[in-house]
A and B are shown apart, each in its own frame.
Chain A
């Protein structure tokens, strides 16, 4: 800003105060190459981190790269004075439980922030309860409050299909959807909405709300993890908590995963995390049982084969053939 934006009453305002200051100075001043923009915005670092930290999810990563590429090219166009209409970035994340929808949404907020698309880069995660009210006239203020909190960042609506309840035509969910649609259309620069949910139910949700479908530019599918991916995830989770598999434990866990995958209600990475939590419990009670023993750091960080083998999954499998 050149001069002050104010003047003394009674005097003619200077020319500087007439035009409003630029809303946002362009992040990449004079950058002419993709590399330059990436270097200035550090979006490359986030994307590499995404590649490194998230196992599998190839289609998701590809999609995020596309979006990031578009934003970088837009930035370059802007630097050359070409018009770059702000793209609609509302997304829907569709996939089974535990496939990393929330984790990716969090990363998405950081990436969009680095690229200068959203101003603050925070994520507000809500469900139906946070948007829909209990009585007439309660829904609109509630939804608007959430939207205001999410502005400048990403609004993540988990299990979005609950917003629409076709069996009850007086359901207040419809009202919340209408307000959402309005803001998604009119204030695209202020916030990005990400809807997440399970595939089949999201499908029905979009069919009954065509307005919602057409306003969402990016439909991203989260595939289920393969056993190899899950093992890698388990390794990462353990490493994060300063644990590691003892001899034979890793093989036992592979076997565990194979059995667990065939069982109903398998929630991908979430099930892996729960399995590891239970293994930690068993390890703790195993060490607790031997009260006289002096424990080394290695003892305390090792998940042994027995800790894994004690799982109910193995017991059920052992019991089954007897029947």
Chain B
């Protein structure tokens, strides 16, 4: 966004850091598994801040013991969607929590389209603002990359 000098989407954990290496992702996944979280892989071509529900890549993975299973799934997702945003999410099923406990981006388009601020003039010169995702300017099948 405009205030983000690196032009990178900052969502979820570690998003102000350089991309995590696979070894670092393994460490994070192992941590989540040690807490009993269920990992899942999601992807999208439009990382709008209000786009909460990304596309699921396969089912959430319950009862895993080792990060290798998650990494296999992530590798498959990267091969299918190399120019999409991909994130890993950890679901904590503890009663009373039942919610996403960890979430971080593990794959980005080589060139991130970013967002623009749209101003709309209403009655009495009132200004309404909204965030516009440049990725959506192109048709869906032409979005990934560039």
Contacts and interface: CB of A to CB of B under 8 A. Distances in A.
B23 A120 contact: no
B16 interface: yes
Interface in B5-31: 5-6, 8, 14, 16-18, 21-24, 26-27
Main secondary structure of the interface of A (DSSP, over half): loop
Interface residues of A, number: 26
Contacts of A8: 17
B68 interface: yes
B21 A20 contact: yes
A250 interface: no
Interface in B40-96: 58-59, 61, 63-70, 72-73
B69 A151 contact: yes
Interface in A131-154: 141, 144-145, 147-149, 151-153
Interface in A1-48: 5-10, 13, 17, 20-21, 23
A107 interface: no
Given A6-B18, A9-B18, A119 B6 contact: no
Contacts of B69: 147-149, 151-152
Contacts of A152: 65-69
A209 interface: no
Query: Interface size bucket, B side?
Result: 20 to 34
Contact of B65 (A7, A10, A151, A187): A151
B49 to A, nearest CB: 19
A10 B59 contact: no
A189 to B, nearest CB: 8
Contact of B22 (A20, A122, A144): A20
B6 A151 contact: no
8 contacts: A6-B17, A144-B72, A148-B64, A148-B72, A151-B69, A152-B68, A153-B65, A190-B66
The list of the 8 closest CB pairs from A to B, nearest first, reads: A152-B66, A148-B69, A151-B68, A20-B23, A190-B68, A6-B17, A151-B69, A151-B66
